[in-house]
Chain A
Amino acid sequence: MQTQATTFPRRLLEHARERPGHSAYREKYLGIWQSWTWAQVNDEVRALACGLAALGFERGMRLAIIGDNRPRLYWSMLAAQCLGGVPVPLYQDAPAADMAYVLENAGIHFAIVEDQEQVDKLLELQALYPGITQIVFDDERGMRHYRQPGLMSFSRLQEAGRAWDSAHPGFYDAAIEAGQGSDHAVILYTSGTTGKPKGVCQTHTALLAAGSGGVAFEKLTERENVLSYLPMAWVGDCLFSFAQALVAGFTVNCPESGETVMTDLREIGPTYYFAPPRIFENMLTQVMIRMEDAGTIKRAMFHRFMAVARRCGADLLDGRPVPLGDRLAYALGQVLVYGPLKNVLGFSRVKVAYTAGAAIGPDLFRFYRSIGVNLKQFYGSTETCAYICLQPDGQIKFDSVGMPAPGVDVRLAENGEVLVKSPTLMEGYYQRPDATAEAIDAQGFFHTGDAGVFDTDGHLRIIDRAADVGKLNHGAIFAPNYIENKLKFFPFIKEAVAFGDGRDMVCAFLNIDLEAVGNWAERRGLAYSGYTDLAAHEQTYALMQECVEQVNADLAGEALMGHTQIHRFLVLHKELDPDDDELTRTRKVRRKFIADKYAVLIDALYGGKASQFITTQVKFEDGRSGVVSADVRIADCRTFPVVTNAAA
């Protein structure tokens, strides 16, 4: 997909000219998929941009965009860009205080939000940050009694825009014409694993480069369909649902609501799909739970053909030679099992599916590839427009993130940190020259903060955050993420936190997966009243112990990691939650925070105690808080002798 356009608004005009009748956006409303063609989108964006101009939105200003994935919010991004402004999508479930920080940091006066909930939040935080003066809302439900100044519905804004447009002919085209590739296209705030969020400024040139790179690499066309359901504030969505969609001109489908994503996925049948490993994992768990409940014949058929798929499915997908017998068995399985299964999951038409953001379990990865879903991993960060490494077709490995993408220069620092130089690299953090100088060195290399190694084929393997990599007292390298990921590959374990830096041995906190363990408990007739009860159950501990010991056996086989086997563990009495600040919004563990919060438990782990009483504050979704307390049991587990000659 070649394009001469140097900004996204120019690209929009190209689409409106070249494929005016092609569906650009779809959204399900009142049970029916509504669609907008590129020509219609251009009209909508035009009215919106003019409306913003009428309100006084000027070149260089920032526009906050808050809400679920809605076509109107994507258009808002384009409208801001048309005027030379910068859209700043925010996480829609962030609490008001977090939002206030970002709004203040980016100096935002205008916001376009989805609904009453977000309006209420912004009105509430006007006390913290009075700078927000104009709020535009999409969904008018419940808004009729609002009389606050500076509040306006999306439709009224567009009406005002149409009036402005006819009063200022040529304004829209001139505004787009004035845009430069070096203008900021978007500011995305990092999730803030460490410290306050930082605004990553991406230019049109960089974001377009990332978009075109991905489109060319996967040979995407305007005929693709994606389902956009991940937070708009997240770089992945910005790349897949915005940058690539505008480069290739394909159709972005917005689900009806957060709860209907799986149904919508099945109805749309996307050809191009992205999900973090967690979602692939949930899907597989759902399939497995339902197969457990299926009839004997169906279950036998499923397991039989899944064995065939495991044997040859991935090879068939990669185009490697497969014996005729297996080919025939696989073809039969395609009709009886894989086809219907993919249909249920909404993967019937998937050309390529991506996952990133966290490590994916080998079983999980193989499962999808074996049933013919071309699942790949990539590696990137907000600062590089999520574009560093990609996996080429036919060279897919579950433990690597692939080779450096075209145009990207990847090197490893002495401490193993991955360094990147690329045209998609950010211009800098918004008004944070200090942080920018820290992240990008004099040679123009961005320090990702991830520790990685290149394997013999030149594929990059990420082992942990460089900052998290520590040492045990006896000198062995301790990569907590590496261990945690191995634990989390078990469907029963939802979260894990490993400790060991500066200690004699490795210990871990676990969170059970309530759905998977709950189902497992149900089949065994174990009664439990809720998470805390099930987590403390003796049989749950036995199950967890099995998992941990399997990880230990696995670690023992690796010379580098063998000395970091888990000696003791406990199952936390509550689920780690972003609302309690234990996880980031993208569900990454906040290691230091957890270590401080649960210091008594850590002392108990290393102090040799058999159990520890703890009381913890929890925040509920509606903002109220309560208390959970429990006597948390601590279990010891078996470790295995390290195989030292496995260094090769």
Chain B
Amino acid sequence: MQMNEPDVHFHGGRATGPVILDLRHISLSFGGVKALTDISFDVRQHEIRAIIGPNGAGKSSMLNVINGVYRPQQGEIIYRGQHRKNMDCYGAAKSGIARTFQNIALFKGMTVLDNIMTGRNLKMTSNFLLQALYWGPARREEIAHRRKCEEIIDFLEIQHIRKTPVGRLPYGLQKRVELGRALAAEPEILLLDEPMAGMNVEEKQDMCRFILDVNDQFGTTIVLIEHDMGVVMDISDRVVVLDYGCKIGDGTPDEVRANPDVIRAYLGDAGGH
């Protein structure tokens, strides 16, 4: 049986496109605590962009600014050519930004399939009543969405847990399901908050492969936060380094690795992690 890939624009090799997300002079504070100070960086289409930094550097805050959970006091966001003071969650999701969370945020009592189906929510157009009756257009729509979800299940190789409630699954698989739910939204930009935290070597390898495959086959742009430096350096095109809410480095993995500020703040004193 041939794999039916969803509509994909093929971009061979590791070529990346134009800038689709540009963050300019973002500052965010909670009362007196400055979480982010004057941070600027951009994300190019189809690239894998990593955000790294020690604990409390402001990485998750940065993701939260991107998909509108936090509203920065200063700065602007340019997404697909549109200038915005800030994003809002619904608008971000609607315009093609999906994410996973550092602490898994799935519906524990629902099956894997149902969880992934929730990722299709914004794509559903038939009304609630028709959906409840599973009738007419709603039925056709549901079948189409189910097919999409099945493609994702096949892609992530989780057929064997399709009907298992998520709460019963081990951590590594839950992470995979969460990725599946984000993919179900067919995002343009996928934000991954520590997708490999708490995983063993094999699970990390699997996850790396899935991230690269998503990037390659669906052409999805990926912004990820990760602690495992080996992983970051292996799979990212460019890396932003944050420390105490400030940007201290930005560039290719090799450039970042050679940056003395980064070595001091992150790689050096921290014990060569």
Contacts and interface: CB of A to CB of B under 8 A. Distances in A.
Nearest to B150: A30
A613 interface: no
Contacts of A142: 213
Contacts of A139: 1-3
Interface in B146-180: 146-147, 150-151, 153-155, 157, 159-160, 162-163
Contacts of A31: 146, 150, 153, 159, 162
Nearest to B162: A31
Interface in A255-290: 256-257, 259-260, 263
Residue from A28, A30, A34, A256 having most chain B Cβ neighbours under 10 A? A30
A259 B160 contact: yes
A141 interface: yes
A545 interface: no
Contacts of A217: none
A256 B153 CA distance: 12
Given A140-B3, A142-B213, A30 B151 contact: yes
A27 interface: yes
A139 B155 CA distance: 12
B221 to A, nearest CB: 19
A139 B213 CA distance: 15
B12 interface: yes
A155 B4 CA distance: 13
Contact size class for B?
Answer: 20 to 34
B40 to A, nearest CB: 34
Contacts of B3: 139-141
A348 B42 CA distance: 60
Contacts of B217: 144
Nearest to B13: A145
A257 B159 contact: yes
B160 A260 contact: yes
Interface string A230-267: 00000000000000000000000000110110010000
B205 interface: yes
A593 interface: no
A263 B150 contact: no
Nearest to A71: B1
Contacts of A29: 1, 154
Interface in A6-35: 27-32, 34
Contacts of B151: 30
Interface in A118-160: 138-142, 144-145, 154-155
Of the candidates B147, B153, B159, B216, the one having the most CB atoms from chain A within 10 angstroms of its own CB is B159
A27 B1 contact: yes
Nearest to B3: A141
B7 interface: no
A30 B160 contact: no
B10 interface: yes
A155 B2 contact: yes
Given A34-B1, A139-B3, A144 B10 contact: yes
A29 B153 CA distance: 11
A30 B10 contact: no
Contacts of B4: 30
Contacts of B10: 144
Contacts of B157: 257
B202 interface: yes
Contacts of B12: 145
A622 interface: yes
Interface in A166-218: none
B159 A260 contact: yes
B252 to A, nearest CB: 21
Contacts of A32: 150
Contacts of A144: 10, 216-217
A30 B159 CA distance: 8
A28 B162 CA distance: 13
Interface string A520-557: 00000000000000000000000000000000000000
- Lowest 7 A-B CB distances belong to which pairs? A259-B160, A30-B150, A29-B1, A260-B160, A31-B150, A141-B3, A256-B159
Given A31-B153, A145-B12, A260-B160, 13 more contacts: A27-B1, A29-B1, A30-B151, A30-B153, A72-B1, A138-B1, A140-B3, A144-B216, A256-B159, A256-B160, A257-B157, A257-B159, A622-B205
